[in-house]
Structure 1
Amino acid sequence: MDTFHADQPSQIEIYAIKNSNHIRNETYRALFHTLSPDRQDYVSKFRRASDYQRSVLGDAMVYRILRDKLGLDPMNIEIVRNAYGKPFLKDHDNLHFNVSHSGHWIVCAVSHEPVGIDVEKIEAIDMDIAKRYFHKTEFNSLLSCDPSVRLSRFFDLWTLKESYIKAVGKGLHLPLDSFALALQDGEWDPIVGEDGETYYFKQYAVEEGYKLSVCGISRHFPKNVHFVTAEEL
């Protein structure tokens, strides 16, 4: 498969795979057996088929990317978590990855610098969530939006903010209202994190009804998402 690249040290790469009824059970089983024993044990505990399938596809995609990047056998890939729960590759601190899933999409971002990604299926929500979790300036900007685009803008902000806290590696230990994002001339302004690094943002379209946002220290975002299939893994 030629969609995985091994020679772009500053380039963020983004991959997406769609879970669908067209994927055969035999394919899920084959991908399951490519996972490390601890991931097999973890995935086996899911009771809902959709959760099992999503996890198998997501793990298999990550293992394939890491295998192609580092030349490692999946059984020798050890993924651990930091104090805040962010996964990272043990003994390889120059390769960062992050995964997200929602609905039938599973996405992954890879970079040689810290990176975060978030995908969300757009669904009706109570705007009090924005009042509770967003920065005051973000909430006010939502209120000033045309009602026809307010829900879309909410999920813009939600996925962008999630991608940032995942890139930083602190998850929800970094409150969503502790920083504010601003849109200028159709582009989201970078922000300076607590570590003094500048974080940049980019959004992509995967399917109507979904939002996909990526955040990274690198500003070298790809033009497109690499869409892969279960059979390619």
Structure 2
Amino acid sequence: MTPIDLNADLGEGFGRWRLTDDEQLLSVVTSANVACGFHAGDPATMRRVCELAAARGVRIGAQVSYRDLAGFGRRAMDVPSGELAAEVAYQIGALEVFARAAGTRVSYVKPHGALYNRVVHDAEQAAAVVEGVRLAGATLPVLGLPSSLLLKTAEEAGLPTVTEAFADRAYTDEGTLVPRGEPGAVLADPDAVVERSVGLARFGVVTSHSGERVAVRARSLCVHGDTPGAVELARRVRTALESSGLPVRAFA
């Protein structure tokens, strides 16, 4: 079967405050989306996560965001295209310093939160993210939702793209994510998350919020690091994927 990548959002702390169990999650996932300081993370956290990831052979991705520490990058913002492109490049460059110091490199880029959802449909913001990746001097793969304008724009710019699905998020009939503010947007039942993960990875389908079967073909599967019980859930997901015959391996 086609291998599946398992990714999680890591380094989402700030100063003395920590949200994700980075060390434990890095023993499970194959790719780490590392916060670059705009929605979470700070230099010391970025350095620590890069060192841990490098030691475990986990690929490092720059999780770029709107500049929104107070809102954890989940608030809608209108940022001019040129400014957003520069901020995306800035975040990638900051993480690259720590990745190289740890003996590895940034292997891909993934938007976070409100930016991730915005670039599904917003051509101008999607183009700004892609410009930011190119401005950073990189031809890095871009991780995003299947059929999103972000991936379409990245492909047109000559960047590799990787489709992503979410094990613990509810989907609309259109194959997009149900907004977090709506009831049931985040799946709370671990058994349901594990079952959904295998269905997405093996068959490329998911049951939407309204009960429709929706095609969502993805090369990478995300388990959120800030979900309660995230480490045990990630372990269960990986075990279920491997037990079903799916190799779990990084895409980059």
| Bigger Rg, which one | 1
Which one scores higher on RCO, CA 8 angstroms, separation ≥ 6?
A: 1
Q: Same fold per TM (> 0.5)? A: no
Greater fraction of residues in strand: 1
